[in-house]
């Protein structure tokens, strides 16, 4: 089947049945509005979305950014240089060429003033949601450490899967130009393209699924949260560490199991954190599979070189702890500097700082929405698991990238 034939078959399937196939450059499928062909359109049907940067931004002044003058802006400079590297190959990279060349030239010069550089070459814009609000939710994520083995053995029975051989990733932009950079996942059943298996179906198929296990880990809950985080490390019995990064996803939209437990009355809203879900799982082992399968999304991994850099984000550059966020790229251009005004996890203590929008996530949807990267390990996980704060965001844009 050619790419065009597959695209036609898949588009027909979508329009006829509004199937739950997903798409996206590095995350589960975004939601779409109802359409005439399918009034009850599920979240993963390809939407007609405006291009990046076309949403409403409100011009702001530097004085509008709470704590801008107090932040250690220089600490965000290495992340900004990585953003320049990641944006260079993107369609909008030309808009950033001038400021990135100036940044590269300024790097390492005596007396370099990072704050002054941004104030001279950028303008802040308040990010505004569709309903006009300027406040949204800020959560946290991190790079976890799991215990594992190269071979299945007693105590290490949870497979970390690579990308299955039968997972189709189809580019529909040849037919729908508005879906440029969007990918639809599915599989062939005879001559038909159908949705790929759900989490529950992947689990039930076991070794019949044509996917190579990369590793085996000791805990199903930890594996689930590895998939939620999108990257992590696995320590083997000999003390070596294997690094894993997001490779692909089965095309089904992410569903929050914490929200489900709250709706069932099994967790209080304030306890619906990563730690709260883990505690519920320990107390209810016989019900764990049923809970995890309520989220049909499933993430596949690839091995990466083990080094001291952070994990790769959707921009294709290593993330820097506490200076990187995941965003909805339909609202915030990947790579752009963003000033984030929020509070520390479970507190009212301000946390206002310059960060870079270098990643995406299946649950990160909407304009004023961010996932704050805390780094690697247990302490980072404790912060990330408790973080569910209100926040405001300003994107910093050079003149060439200013909204038209």
In tens, the pLDDT along 136-178 reads: 999 999 999 999 999 999 999 999 999 999 999 887 766 766 6
Average the pLDDT over each of 10-14, 110-114, 204-208, 363-367 and give the range with the smallest value. Answer: 10-14
pLDDT of 309 = 85
3-class secondary structure per residue, 226-243 = HHHHCEEEEECCCCCEEE
> What is the domain partition of the chain in residue ranges?
57-141+310-401
pLDDT classification of 82: cutoffs 50, 70, 90 = very high
pLDDT tens digits for range 298-326: 999 999 888 778 899 999 999 999 999 99
Q: How confident is the model at residue 362 (pLDDT cuts 50, 70, 90)?
A: confident
Q: Where residue 330 falls among pLDDT bands split at 50, 70, 90?
A: confident
Q: 324-344 burial, b if ≥16 CB within 10 A, otherwise e?
A: bbbbbbbbbbbbbbbbbbbbe
Residue 376 — very low, low, confident or very high, per pLDDT cuts 50/70/90?
very high
pLDDT at 54 over 60: no
Average pLDDT over residues 238-265: 92
- Check residue 108 and give its pLDDT: 80
Average pLDDT, the chain: 85
User: Tell me, what's the pLDDT at 50?
Assistant: 39
HSE-CB of 254 using CA atoms within 13 angstroms: 22
Which of these ranges, 65-69, 76-80, 179-183, 263-267, has the smallest mean pLDDT? 179-183
Query: What homologous superfamily does CATH list for 57-141+310-401?
Result: RlpA-like domain (2.40.40.10)
Regarding beta strands 136-143 and 369-376, do their DSSP bridges make them parallel or antiparallel, or are they unpaired? parallel
User: Looking at the predicted structure, is the pLDDT value of residue 344 above 70?
Assistant: yes
The span from the CA of 388 to the CA of 141, in Å, is 11
pLDDT of residue 178: 62
Strand order in the sheet with 158-161: 158-161, 213-217, 145-149, 231-235, 241-249, 299-304
Determine what percent of the chain is predicted with pLDDT higher than 90.
Answer: 66
Q: Is the pLDDT assigned to residue 7 strictly greater than 80?
A: no
Using an 8 Å Cβ cutoff, are 326 and 370 in contact? yes
* Separation between Cα atoms, residue 352 and residue 335, nearest integer Å: 19
CB 337 within 8 A of CB 75: no
DSSP for 203-272, please give it. Answer: HHHGGGS---EEEEES-HHHHHHHHHHSEEEEE-TTS-EEEEEEEEE-SPPP--HHHHHHHTTSS-GGG-
pLDDT tens digit sequence for 187-240: 999 989 899 999 999 999 988 999 999 999 999 999 999 998 889 999 999 999
- Does 9 score more than 60 pLDDT? no
């Amino acid at each position: 089947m050619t790419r065009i034939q597959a695209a036609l078959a898949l588009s027909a399937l979508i329009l006829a049945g509004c199937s739950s196939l997903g798409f996206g450059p590095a995350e589960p499928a975004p939601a779409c509005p109802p359409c005439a062909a399918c009034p009850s359109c599920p979240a993963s049907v390809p939407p007609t979305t405006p291009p990046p940067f076309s949403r409403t931004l409100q011009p702001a002044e530097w004085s509008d950014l709470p704590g801008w003058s107090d932040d250690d802006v220089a600490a965000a400079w290495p992340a900004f240089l990585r953003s320049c590297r990641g944006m260079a190959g993107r369609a909008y990279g030309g808009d950033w060429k001038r400021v990135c060349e100036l940044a590269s030239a300024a790097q390492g010069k005596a007396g370099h003033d990072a704050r002054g550089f941004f104030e001279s070459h950028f303008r802040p814009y308040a990010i505004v949601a569709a309903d006009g609000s300027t406040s949204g939710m800020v959560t946290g994520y991190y790079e976890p450490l799991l215990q594992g083995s190269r071979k299945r053995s007693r105590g290490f029975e949870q497979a970390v899967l690579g990308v299955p051989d039968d997972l189709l990733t189809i580019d529909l932009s040849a037919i729908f130009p508005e879906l440029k950079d969007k990918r639809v996942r599915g599989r062939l059943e005879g001559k038909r393209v159908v949705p790929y298996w759900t989490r529950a179906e992947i689990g039930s198929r076991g070794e019949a699924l044509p996917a190579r296990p990369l590793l085996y880990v000791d805990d199903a809950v930890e594996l689930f949260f590895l998939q939620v985080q999108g990257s992590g490390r696995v320590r083997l019995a000999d003390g070596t560490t294997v690094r894993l990064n997001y490779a692909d996803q089965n095309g089904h939209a992410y569903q929050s199991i914490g929200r489900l437990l709250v709706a069932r009355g099994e967790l209080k809203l304030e306890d619906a954190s990563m730690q709260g879900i883990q505690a519920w799982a320990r107390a209810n082992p016989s019900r764990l599979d049923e809970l995890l399968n309520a989220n049909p999304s499933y993430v596949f991994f690839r091995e990466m070189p083990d080094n001291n850099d952070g994990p790769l984000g959707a921009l294709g550059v290593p993330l820097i702890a506490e200076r990187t966020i995941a965003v909805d790229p339909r609202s915030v251009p990947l790579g752009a500097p963003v000033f984030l005004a929020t509070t520390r996890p479970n507190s009212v203590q301000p946390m206002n700082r310059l960060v870079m929008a270098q990643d995406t996530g299946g649950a990160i949807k909407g304009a004023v929405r961010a996932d704050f990267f805390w780094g690697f390990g247990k302490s980072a996980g404790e912060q990330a698991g408790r973080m569910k704060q209100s926040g405001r965001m300003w994107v910093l844009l050079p003149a060439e990238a200013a909204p038209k």
